[in-house]
Amino acid sequence: MSEMTTERVRTLIDAYGADPERWPADERDAARRLVETDPVLSAELADAASFDALLDALPAPAPRPALRVALNAIPDRARLRWSDRLATLWPFGAPWGPAAGLVAAALFGVVIGVTVPDPAAVTDAASSGTTTTVAYDPVAAVAAMASGAADLEYLQ
Amino acid sequence: MPRIAEGDAAAYRALVDRHADRLLAFAERLVGDRASAEDVVQDAYLAVWRTAARWTPSAKVSTWLYRIARNAALDRLRRRRPSVDPETVTLIDPTDGPERGLSRRETASAVRRAIDALPERQRTAIVLVHYERRSGADAAEVLGVSVEALESLLSRGRRALRAALEGRRPDLVGGEP
């Protein structure tokens, strides 16, 4: 812990007010000792205390038994259903829209998978020379570039 | 919290017993009126019941609850920023005499309005540290900021309140209206 300074005590009073119990515990004792030996800080503490008293004019809201009853009823009203469990995974509203999107994306993937020809079957076996034909195979494309092929032709 | 995550209503109700009053006070000071504050607390506890599995032991339960309540309050404030009618706020201290009570009510209403006028993060910082007596570290965690940033929010908030309430101080410091 660094040494307590007048400036730090002033920051504590400005931020937390006059009650040392609100100050950070690891700085409290050192700050309090400094205040006791510094009349200017003592005056600033007294000023902050009067401002704290002003803030305390706003009383604590009183508890209301009816609210407690409503809160205690929440488990009965919202038993963990499947929708609740889904809500823990997807807390941004009804999960059905995103779930439908996920299913549609999966179906699209399957359709693409069964309709697009096997890249190995369309790779131009006679790719000698300056042209290499690569279909939907980025790894092969990178490899071809690295090997210095002059042109790449992507099948659409 | 793990028991609540498994659907243990008794554990949930123990959490209500322990924290509901403080969360209500916190929410009322954030949103400015009792009805909205009660809605906030209900939203917060519903979220607790539904998402208790997300709590991690590294977080204090009370700090986690304050964070959930703050989010619920922000949600309410975004939808409807309430305008507080000071006349509807019950602020009577039964230990006061009639004249003294009137002065305190007026002062309390002024404090209420001044707090309502603060930017949300300054207001939350002041409410957590001054009224809820949370530590700086806890308040910083609720707000998702560093302790240094929290202290800056507190200082700016208190300065703004001082400016708004300067004329009110003699009411209390002098002890008489």
- For residues B74-89, average pLDDT: 61
Q: Is the CB of A17 less than 8 angstroms away from the CB of B130?
A: yes
A60 close to B (CB below 8 A): yes
Q: Give ∠ CA B95-B17-A92 in degrees, rounded to 5.
A: 115
Mutate to test the interface with A, among B6, B45, B90, B129 (most CBs of A within 10 A): B45
Q: Which chain A residue's Cα is nearest to B113? A: A58
- What fold does the segment set B2-79 form as a domain? Rna Polymerase Sigma Factor; Chain: A (1.10.1740)
A69 close to B (CB below 8 A): no
Q: Which runs of consecutive H residues, i.e. helices, occur in chain B?
A: 2-5, 9-31, 34-51, 61-79, 98-117, 120-126, 136-143, 147-165, 169-173
The domain spans of chain B are: 2-79, 99-173
- For residues B40-61, average pLDDT: 84
Q: Is the CB of B169 less than 8 angstroms away from the CB of A15?
A: no
Q: Which chain A residue's Cα is nearest to B110? A: A58
Chain A closest CA to B169's CA: distance in Å?
6
Nearest to B118 by CA among B106, B105, B130: B130
Query: CB-CB: which of A14, A54, A62 is closest to B111?
Result: A54
List of chain A residues whose C-beta atoms are within 8 Å of the C-beta of residue B13 = 72, 75
SS3 readout for chain A = CCCCCHHHHHHHHHHHCCCHHHCCHHHHHHHHHHHHHCHHHHHHHHHHHHHHHHHCCCCCCCCCHHHHHHHHCHHHHCCCCHHHHHHHHCCCCCCHHHHHHHHHHHHHHHHHHHHCCCHHHHCCCCCCCCEEEECCCHHHHHHHHHCCCCEEEECC
pLDDT at res. A31: 96
A22 close to B (CB below 8 A): yes
**Separation CA B148–CA B145 (nearest Å):** 8
A17 close to B (CB below 8 A): yes
pLDDT at res. A136: 52
Q: What are the residue ranges in chain A where pLDDT is below 70?
A: 1-2, 79-95, 118-156
Q: Is the CB of B42 less than 8 angstroms away from the CB of A70?
A: yes
**Separation CA B173–CA B91 (nearest Å):** 19
A20 close to B (CB below 8 A): no
Q: Is the CB of B20 less than 8 angstroms away from the CB of A60?
A: no
Take residue B25 and report the two structure tokens written for it: 């006070």
pLDDT at res. B172: 52
Q: Is the CB of A67 less than 8 angstroms away from the CB of B41?
A: yes
Range B99-173 has CATH code 1.10.10.10: yes
pLDDT tens digit sequence for A31-55 = 999 999 999 999 999 999 999 999 9
pLDDT at res. A60: 82
List of chain A residues whose C-beta atoms are within 8 Å of the C-beta of residue B54 = 88
**Separation CA B4–CA B77 (nearest Å):** 28
A67 close to B (CB below 8 A): yes
Chain A closest CA to B154's CA: distance in Å?
5
User: Counting beta carbons within 10 angstroms of the beta carbon of residue A106, is it exposed (0 to 12), middle (13 to 18) or buried (19 or more)?
Assistant: exposed
Chain B closest CA to A78's CA: distance in Å?
8
Model confidence at B5, pLDDT cuts 50, 70, 90, reads confident
pLDDT at res. B152: 97
Q: Is the CB of A16 less than 8 angstroms away from the CB of B49?
A: no
Model confidence at B38, pLDDT cuts 50, 70, 90, reads very high
Query: CB-CB: which of A24, A58, A88 is closest to B111?
Result: A58
Q: Report the predicted TM-score, pTM, of the whole model to 2 decimal places.
A: 0.66
